[in-house]
Amino acid sequence: MRIMLQSLLKPSFLLSLIPLVHALDPKTVIDANGISLFDKIEEIERQLLQPATLNSLVLPCSLNAQADPNEGQQTSAEWVRTVFHDCITKGIAGPGLGGLDASIGFESDRPENIGVFVNVTIGQFDQFNTVFLSISDLIGVGLADSLATCANDHRRLPLRVGRVDATGPGPAGVPGPADTFAFALAAFNRAGFSQSEMIQAIACGHSLGGVHGSDFPDIGGPTGIDPNTSGRKPFDSSPDVFDNTGVNEYISGTGLKGGPLVVGLNSTENSDLRIFSSDGNATIKAMLTPQSFEDTCFTIFAKMMATVPAAVTLSDPFQVRPWIMRESHLDLTSAGAVQFSGIISAHGASTPPNTATYVYGTNGGGNTGQKTSGAGVILPGSSLSPNQPPDASGIGYGVIKDYSFSDIITGQGVTSLTVTSSGSTYSGAINTNIFILPSQSFQQQNSGTGTGPWMVRVAILSSLTTATSVPVATVWHRAPQVGSKASKIVIKTSNMAFEKTLGSYKIYKASSFSSGANPPLNQESGHFRIKLGSTQTSAIVATTLFKTTCTQNDISLC
Distance CA 400, CA 292 (A): 31
Give the residues across from 427 on adjacent strands.
418
Distance CA 99, CA 92 (A): 10
Distance CA 161, CA 44 (A): 9
DSSP string, 65-113: -SS-GGG---HHHHHHHHHHHHHTTTTSSSTT--SSSSGGGG-TTSGGG
Report, at the CATH architecture level, how domain 37-305 is classified: Orthogonal Bundle (1.10)
In the chain, where are the structural domains located? 37-305, 323-431, 435-557
Tell whether domain 323-431 is in CATH 2.60.40: yes
pLDDT tens, residue order, the chain (558 aa) = 233 333 333 333 333 223 344 478 999 999 999 999 999 999 999 888 886 788 888 988 999 987 666 677 899 999 999 999 999 999 999 999 999 999 999 999 999 999 888 999 999 999 999 999 999 999 999 999 999 889 988 888 999 999 999 999 999 999 999 999 999 999 999 999 999 999 999 999 999 999 987 788 777 544 444 555 667 789 999 999 999 999 999 999 999 999 999 998 889 999 999 999 999 999 999 999 999 999 999 999 999 999 999 999 999 999 888 899 889 999 999 899 999 999 999 988 778 899 999 999 998 888 888 999 999 998 876 654 333 443 434 355 778 899 999 999 986 689 889 998 877 888 878 999 999 999 999 887 766 555 667 889 999 999 999 999 999 999 999 999 999 999 999 999 999 999 999 999 999 999 877 655 555 566 667 899 999 999 999 999 998 888 766 766 666 667
| Contact between 545 and 5 (Cβ < 8 Å) | yes
| Contact between 385 and 435 (Cβ < 8 Å) | no
pTM to 2 decimals?
A: 0.90
Q: Do 323-431 and 435-557 fold alike per CATH?
A: yes
Report, at the CATH architecture level, how domain 435-557 is classified: Sandwich (2.60)
